[in-house]
Chains A and B, each alone.
Chain A
Amino acid sequence: AQTVTQSQPEMSVQEAETVTLSCTYDTSESNYYLFWYKQPPSRQMILVIRQEAYKQQNATENRFSVNFQKAAKSFSLKISDSQLGDTAMYFCAFIATRFGAGTRLTVKP
C-alpha cells in the first residue's frame, strides 16, 4: 500500500524568506504522479504543484518548486520569497488516493 509521510507537523518562516517542506512516500509503482496541495483556513484545497515520476526535471511554478528524488522516494516543496498569503496547511499527495497528514505553515511578518 502506498503511504505518504510528512514529518513536520508545523513550520514557520519569516516573510520573504525560503522554506522547505518535506514529504516521503512508499510505493512499488514506477510511474505515478505526486502533488502538493494548499489548504487555507477557508478549507478549499488548491493545487500548488504537480510532478510526474517519469520526468527527471523538477517541477516549478513561480515561487514554488520541488526537489523530487525518485530513488529516495522524496518529494519536498520549496517556497521562495514567502508571503503572508502562503500561511496554510500543505498536503503532499500520491496520485489522488493518498495524502500525508499535512504541515501547518505560518509566514510571519
Chain B
Amino acid sequence: ETGVTQSPTHLIKTRGQQVTLRCSSQSGHNTVSWYQQALGQGPQFIFQYYREEENGRGNFPPRFSGLQFPNYSSELNVNALELDDSALYLCASSLGQWNTEAFFGQGTRLTVV
C-alpha cells in the first residue's frame, strides 16, 4: 500500500507566475483535499475533490483551482502568484469525504519571490 506523495517537495516562483502542484493519493482512496499552511499556522482548507468533482471549497479566490483524475490523483493550480501564497501546501487523501481519516503527504514548500 503506497502512501500519499506530493511533488515537487520545494519550489521557488516569481510573483505573477503560475504553479502546478501534484498529489498521488493512497491506493484505494477516492477523495483528495488540499490545504495551505503558512509558517506557524494551522492548515487552511482550500478545496476537496471526490470522484473527480469539487466537493467543497474554503475561502480561497478562483485563481486557486484543481483537478482530480480518474486514478484519483490530483493537481492544485495557482495563477497570478502573490507573495502571500508562500506556504506549505498539503494534500490529503481519504476513502470518503468528511468523516474518515485523512492521510497526508509531506507537502510542497512554495516560495514566491
Neighbouring B residues of A72 by C-beta, 8 Å:
none
Q: How far is the CA of A32 from the CA of B94 in the complex (A)?
A: 16
17 new A-B contacts, CB < 8 A, other than A44-B106, A96-B98, A97-B56, are A4-B42, A6-B42, A33-B98, A35-B101, A37-B104, A43-B107, A44-B107, A45-B92, A45-B104, A47-B103, A95-B98, A96-B45, A96-B94, A97-B58, A100-B42, A101-B41, A101-B42
Give the residue name and chain of the B residue nearest to A42 (CB): B106
The 8 nearest A-B residue pairs measured at CB = A45-B104, A99-B42, A97-B45, A33-B99, A95-B98, A99-B43, A44-B106, A101-B42
Give the residue name and chain of the B residue nearest to A89 (CB): B42
- Option from A32, A46, A52, A91 in Cβ contact (under 8 Å) with B42: A91
Give the residue name and chain of the A residue nearest to B104 (CB): A45
Residue count of chain A within 8 Å CB distance of chain B = 23
- Option from B42, B45, B105 in Cβ contact (under 8 Å) with A44: B105
Instruction: Write the residues of chain A forming the contact surface with B, with a CB cutoff of 8 angstroms.
Output: 4, 6, 32-33, 35, 37, 42-47, 50, 52, 91, 95-102
Neighbouring B residues of A96 by C-beta, 8 Å:
33, 45, 48, 92, 94, 97-98, 102
Q: How many Cβ-Cβ contacts under 8 Å join chain A to chain B?
A: 54
Instruction: Write the residues of chain B forming the contact surface with A, with a CB cutoff of 8 angstroms.
Output: 33, 35, 41-45, 48, 56, 58, 88, 90, 92, 94, 97-99, 101-107
Q: How far is the CA of A44 from the CA of B37 in the complex (A)?
A: 12
Contact at A47–B56, with CB atoms within 8 Å? no
Neighbouring A residues of B104 by C-beta, 8 Å:
37, 44-46
Give the residue name and chain of the B residue nearest to A91 (CB): B42
Give the residue name and chain of the B residue nearest to A99 (CB): B42
